[in-house]
Structure 1
């Protein structure tokens, strides 16, 4: 982003700030089902089963809301960038680096990656869109409880794996299956800290189930909220703000949700709210303060890249530059959430705000 901005005569620091704010602040918003949807679903489902052992969730439980959020945050982010970010940094007076043109092999790799992606999408569409499609429910022809929804994880895996393989082979980045395996091994090695975290989180949720602490806190908390008449939209907005504050201290989305879900998911479930809306409120709160928390590991990466273009830049300058994004993302996203909540719109296919 910095190099693209610099190559067209704009300040690379502005490119860094804008892109980091978009990725970090709009962390949950997406037009595709991502690994985060699957990850949070596992924690939400386990937490909901404290109150309802038969509960089964879907990775698409927040899909409709997240699509709408994506377009909203793009509009807000663009306005903030034009209003605050670019005027603050002004023009760039350092040495301008030019982007190197793509090589013939890279162009070939991108071409074949695009072809494979298109073919894969067409194959999936052919098996899902027709009412008698192969990946629809064979008994009812439905979509919600279908092999497609049950197999969303391997479907997304191949959506990224196959184009990657096509690029590697066409661009001669990989020559045999051994090199492919080495690259996959390296990628999985980078995930080692998360695998350890997931193990610890699973033990904590299992302890909540075994000790009944989660049930007790959820029931007593629900009774307290009802006694105070603090339910509905004010309660949900309060929960969003709690998550936003906790995010300043614990940046990991999965670690934070593993702490909060066993209490708040069953608590709100007892009040009649579906786990889907509780997870959605969490995701809004989890995202909006991401840009300004130095606890996020990527903040250090942002700082190191920024120093390439301004050796005197520090944490304070970065946070103050990112603050408008957090503020206006929070305002816009909470307003969208309130509209969704008040009109009772579905959050995803078959998932609603209230329990059905």
Structure 2
């Protein structure tokens, strides 16, 4: 080619056209020109329409109904409507699905504006349709994920609220994030009275209802409050038994969460404590009867003959101290060792 200024200009123009056509062909944005009044939906459309939809670009130019026939039924109104914004502002934007040649659908965002009547495009609509399928699929996954999270959240709330045990959860700063009615009503409160409050605020409310914990009587809640907070620090490793001022008993336990918070459980153990108390009282009555009885009484392990319990009267009769830590067997009391075999 002759090295002249004119040849160089032509070469540059030609190269610019080639590069522009190549860039448009591989772009994910489809460009087009259309009649403003809608008599001819597309006067021109870029070649990459085929890359994105699989359809021949010329088919959509030659067939005025081609595009509308390939719009998803749920989006037809969106495409067919005459936008007030287009008339008022000269531009509009809409999103819809187009059926591809293989029977699938691609999401497009159509942004169009009216060109000036006296401009090069002669008052047509200039538009660009961007492939937003990936964005829509991500939105759908996010919507499904949010819906699943909401379902699980409702399930968790229902499970927490339906539990017969008092349940609470605190964040790393000690604020109460979750609390069911079974917990709040232990202390004569509603969940909203506790939610959002700090550990110290809730702890003092509870402290005023406690008669004892770990066997330690509470006589001055405000003065003894710091000790109670320190005890709560170890509750995950060492549950605490609490007696309330109305006589009920609770077992407070918990476990740490990965984010530095803690989940707490309050279990009503009043019946268990009453059974334990009844057993202790029964044992004490039984022991009193044995130890006050004038006849010797002892309890023996059948197989070995080991004496498990011996009354004071028995110890007195056999002339040894009572109580005694020495291990004894009934055979120790036989006068004639030969008499032992028939019985032991």
- TM class, shorter-length: under 0.3
TM-score by length of 1: 0.18
- Higher strand proportion: 2
Give the structure, 1 or 2, with the largest relative contact order (CA under 8 Å, sep 6 or more).
Answer: 1
- Higher helix proportion: 1
Larger Rg: 2
